[in-house]
Copies of this chain bind each other. A is one copy, B any other.
Amino acid sequence: MEDQPKSRRWKQNPEAVRADILRVAQAEFARNGLSRTRIEDIAARTKTSKRMVFYYFGDKESLYQAVLEAAYAGVRAGEAELDLEDLPPDQALRRLVEFTFDHHRDNPDFIRLVMVENIHGGSHMRQMEQLAEQNLAAIRVLERICEAGRASGLFRDDISPLALHWRISAMSFFNVSNRATFALNFGDSLFDEAGQALLREEAARSILLSVLRAPLD
């Protein structure tokens, strides 16, 4: 029937075990952060044992790092699916903002991992190399939109794509990361369906408005 590439067959499948551990570990680290997460808890939700976690990943920090790396790769892959090529620049930008907003919402575990990593000062992210290109790809999308907008006379010519990305990320990220404290402080009206629709729309509108050629100033 089917032959695995490396001729590994039924039962005793290391790759699957590895992936299983990674999957569970991602959820645990996202929920509890690094220190509060117990390897035993991860193992318990896996089909394998604590011994195997160490066997495959060495130690806790390495596992965490592998999780972070996989999460980044997964999310960036999702982003790459967005196609804005044949849209006029204003619609493309609006679509990008809305997509980013939704995409963050749909990946709370990733957001929480990034929060955790920021608490740690980004120390585990430093040795990840292949992120640079993926990240620059995100900026390049914005650069193209800005350039097209400028060329058509629709956008201002002093837009910084990086600063624009920063603002889009800020709203999309904060919406997920600070939901708990924001809701406790101000109620959860912004987090029901209507509230989220409002925030999403205002985010898109304010970003768009800020790049359009001098409506006022």
Which residues on A are within 8 Å of B, measured CB to CB? Answer: 32-36, 112, 114-122, 125-126, 131-132, 135, 139, 160, 162-163, 165-167, 169-171, 173-175, 177-186, 189-190, 198-199, 202-203, 205-207, 209-210, 212, 215-217
Contacts and interface: CB of A to CB of B under 8 A. Distances in A.
B160 A198 contact: yes
Contacts of A174: 166, 169-171, 173-174
11 contacts: A35-B35, A135-B185, A162-B186, A162-B189, A167-B171, A167-B202, A170-B174, A171-B174, A173-B178, A206-B206, A209-B209
A120 B67 CA distance: 20
Main secondary structure of the interface of A (DSSP, over half): helix
A139 B182 CA distance: 12
Contacts of A175: 170
B167 A121 contact: no
State the copy count for this chain: 2
A193 B21 CA distance: 43
A184 B124 CA distance: 11
A183 B122 contact: yes
A139 B181 contact: no
Nearest to A178: B118
A212 B215 CA distance: 10
Nearest to A135: B185
Contacts of A115: 115, 118-119, 177
Contacts of A132: 185
B112 A180 contact: no
B125 A184 contact: yes
Given A139-B186, A170-B173, A209-B210, 13 more contacts: A32-B119, A118-B177, A119-B119, A122-B183, A122-B184, A125-B184, A131-B185, A135-B185, A162-B186, A167-B171, A167-B202, A171-B171, A206-B207
Contacts of A171: 167, 170-171, 174
